[in-house]
Structure 1
């Protein structure tokens, strides 16, 4: 395997593919395409390239860059700014792989897509997008799904206005001026605002449901509606997350604790909407009590803080998606959770600054298994568990099933009703019954009543209409 050092340069022309091939004469090798994470805002393709997969001489790995932030995800519903530019970059990459990977010894009919956090949301969105059908065969979604609050914009025009507010732009209610403002920002200015620390578990600029402009759309309806309809290709999928994934929010605790105590409703996920503030406040208090009881939110409730954001951003969306898929007739969803017992530290440092969140995210993304799974046990335990996980994923990519090497389980069964079974990953691998059923049912009751379906941008005012 030949590795070439690259200098990281942020530029507008950013759709670049990195193809890693093993030193073998094998032909038609399975292909693993990895989608990088970073809140749809930061990151780059080869931030996570696992040489061990290539050294196995069993697969080819592809990473890539795409448009990010407002450059990739501003969604105005006009011909010039229809939305989902970053997702269409990703589809373009998959089409390139389909048409060209055979030249590198890869099999275009044996492509698996994988991702972490927003990269995971991306691959999950690919699985329900008509635009991406036929471009891959399997999906690995690590800590991010299409139904997460940060995955799809609930109201793209409102988000565009909020983002413009960050520039002190005042004419946000004049659509013509709003579009003109965005189209005349430089690339550097366009992506200059930090949206990683929003209390509503979104990043403003993310994929969207597109308005019908008579052209190919990446997403023509909300993921929930598409899954419920069953009108998508049901491919083998690995779905999972870490039990304390919400620790990525800990650097913000010291900035948020005051407001969480007096206005917890500001910290509800953006995809819950209410008829009035009184009802929102009532539900917010119910949720706050469920996680924090009568405790004052602060350093002493760090564990509860982590649990809340784990469940809001990762755990419940994953369980919700899994259940929706199963109810639509999908019988090839494999569900897992990584135990909190395998983390070296319970949480990130409390005194880390908000700015550190970006660097912490980058650190996690470098190598999911190595950076996230810091075990309390000795080095050999870590090496063994990590190697088993990687070989399990490799078996999924090459064989179509997540076969666990050296395990008495041998077969990791797909999830059925009530989130059972799931693979519990700690010092040992166990197939357990329902995953987080009490928490899942709590959130299910709330989402059944208050879920706000993502909508496409409305047609622009008549003077700007391009319909």
Structure 2
């Protein structure tokens, strides 16, 4: 036992000595002093508690104020993650999964300059998985032009159970994000950043999140530019279309039987242990929905994230309009290829099952007719097989990513936003894939940019991605970082005096857009034929999401 204690003491002393050997900075925040350390020319302040996640019966409510301290807080813990389901994509065995998980990471350049532009990155993961340090912004921060912030927020049912009750009003995970922006507004000047020059960005569900933040009144004035990458506010998987049904369906999976009593349902979720709550692995459904994601709330608390649908908010123009750098990868739908072999036969038999959840029809016959029209648009008269896999990729690229972006673009321009810069990222890197999620062999002839590729080109990823060190890719990364830094610091991806091709804002016909591929080229309308096809479908068949119903007494629904 003495020998073990001695070994532990030696290890602790070695870790302390290693920290002392590194250059450090101490910053005075509103909660107390924090000490960060220099790594790769960047001062990292890791694991700062920006808020506190409520626990017990309050676990689904808005976050509480963070703790305070007197002595310097050693900001070195990058191993805290919020409770989440298992994903084969990531190895979290070395991380600490804990309920009180609301921590921020600040990346500060080695400079005495102040009032730098600030980048706040919202991590992706389908609102079900992920953590702040999935991505490292070192390459951008080392330019000494920006300060960057990443953070955790509550996920899955923990963050997005939406019953419309006092105990589970909804959108806890989005309210965490607002709390982070308030923390940034109050503290970022101490790290050299300007609270009046904040860009919010994210990829995939992080993109959806910042696009939704733009429509909420809660964070007004806390950000000044937005960069959503491959995830739009009007997308089928960005909003729960029937949050009560989502909660019921998941509870039934967990063997709960009193699903039709909303208050029994609330008590079930308030008391179920986290290992059981997170025991059912999520998967994107055939209708492109996910489950526990943001919702339209009822106004039953002091602050509501939003009480109307994204489409209505955009149509009414009742939101804060700021410059937006808006786009996606040309083959975002590649992320769905893992379902291809499982689904292709059923898609041939009954394509109606694979229509987006946010479409509604008067009858089964009408649904089948529309399904056939859509199937023929992507696959012609041919059966869905490995020979027509490009149609499968294009279908999910459009329904989950590109069309929601193009639809939102149209609505935002109509609402008066004249500072939207639209793009499609098409640079093909055969090496871009998460190492734990290899691509099947039959995709060898498919050349396009996968989901997440634009983000990997701009940032340093903290998840294992096979490396592409080709000269062309390195040049592309350099250009992407220049475009992103330009936008973060000026509100324009190509400001006056730049050597890059001129990039004007998009107009009413979703034109022009920038093609970010082997070359950077300004082009006309983006995916015009495919966009108009879906314009017609959504104009006739779109189904608005609904908030939870109003309950008068504690009884059955």
Partner Cα distance (1:405, 1:172) in 2: 59
2:218 maps to: 131
Q: SS at 2:326's partner residue?
A: strand
Partner Cα distance (1:321, 1:135) in 2: 22
Q: Which of these residues, 281, 287, 301, is aligned with residue 368 of structure 2? A: 281
Say which structure is richer in strand. Answer: 2
Q: TM-score, normalised by structure 1?
A: 0.92
- CA deviation profile, 1:248-268 (whole Å, cap 9, x unmatched): 000111111121111211111
Alignment of 1:424-463 (within 5 A): 424-460=515-551, 462-463=553-554
Instruction: Single out whichever of 397-406 and 231-240 deviates more from structure 2.
Output: 397-406
Instruction: Single out whichever of 341-350 and 439-448 deviates more from structure 2.
Output: 341-350
Q: Which of these residues, 409, 430, 433, is aligned with residue 344 of structure 1? A: 430
Partner Cα distance (1:118, 1:42) in 2: 10
Q: 1:370 to 1:441 in 2, by over 3 A?
A: farther
1:403 maps to: 494
The Cα shift of 1:180 comes to 2.1
Kept in 1, the 8 Å contact 2:123–2:206? The answer is yes
Q: Which of these residues, 333, 345, 357, is aligned with residue 258 of structure 1? A: 345
1:412 maps to: 503
1:423 maps to: 514
Q: Which of these residues, 314, 322, 326, is aligned with residue 239 of structure 1? A: 326
Alignment of 1:152-167 (within 5 A): 152-167=239-254
1:356 maps to: none
- CA deviation profile, 1:36-89 (whole Å, cap 9, x unmatched): 000000010010112111110110000000100000001000010000000000
1:2 maps to: 43
Q: SS at 1:279's partner residue?
A: helix
**Structure 2 runs not aligned, ≥5 long:** 1-41, 45-75, 80-94, 443-449
Q: 1:102 to 1:14 in 2, by over 3 A?
A: same
The Cα shift of 1:195 comes to 2.0
Q: 1:179 to 1:233 in 2, by over 3 A?
A: same
Instruction: Single out whichever of 455-464 and 223-232 deviates more from structure 2.
Output: 455-464
Kept in 1, the 8 Å contact 2:169–2:301? The answer is no
Q: SS at 1:416's partner residue?
A: coil
Kept in 2, the 8 Å contact 1:244–1:306? The answer is yes
- CA deviation profile, 1:234-281 (whole Å, cap 9, x unmatched): 100011000111000001111111211112111111111122222111
Kept in 1, the 8 Å contact 2:217–2:319? The answer is yes
1:355 maps to: none
1:209 maps to: 296
2:164 maps to: 77
Q: 1:270 to 1:345 in 2, by over 3 A?
A: farther
Kept in 2, the 8 Å contact 1:391–1:405? The answer is no
The Cα shift of 1:94 comes to 0.3
Instruction: Single out whichever of 133-142 and 290-299 deviates more from structure 2.
Output: 290-299
Q: SS at 2:228's partner residue?
A: strand
| Count of aligned pairs | 457
**Structure 1 runs not aligned, ≥5 long:** 353-359
| 1:151 and 2:238 are equivalent in the alignment | yes
Q: SS at 2:43's partner residue?
A: coil
- CA deviation profile, 1:378-431 (whole Å, cap 9, x unmatched): 811111111111111001111121127997554311000111000001111111
Q: TM-score, normalised by structure 2?
A: 0.78
Say which structure is richer in helix. Answer: 1
Q: 1:286 to 1:48 in 2, by over 3 A?
A: same
Kept in 2, the 8 Å contact 1:49–1:367? The answer is no
Kept in 1, the 8 Å contact 2:351–2:372? The answer is yes
Partner Cα distance (2:231, 2:486) in 1: 22
| Structure ranking higher on relative contact order (CA contacts 8 Å, 6+ apart) | 1
Partner Cα distance (2:245, 2:414) in 1: 32
Partner Cα distance (1:364, 1:29) in 2: 24
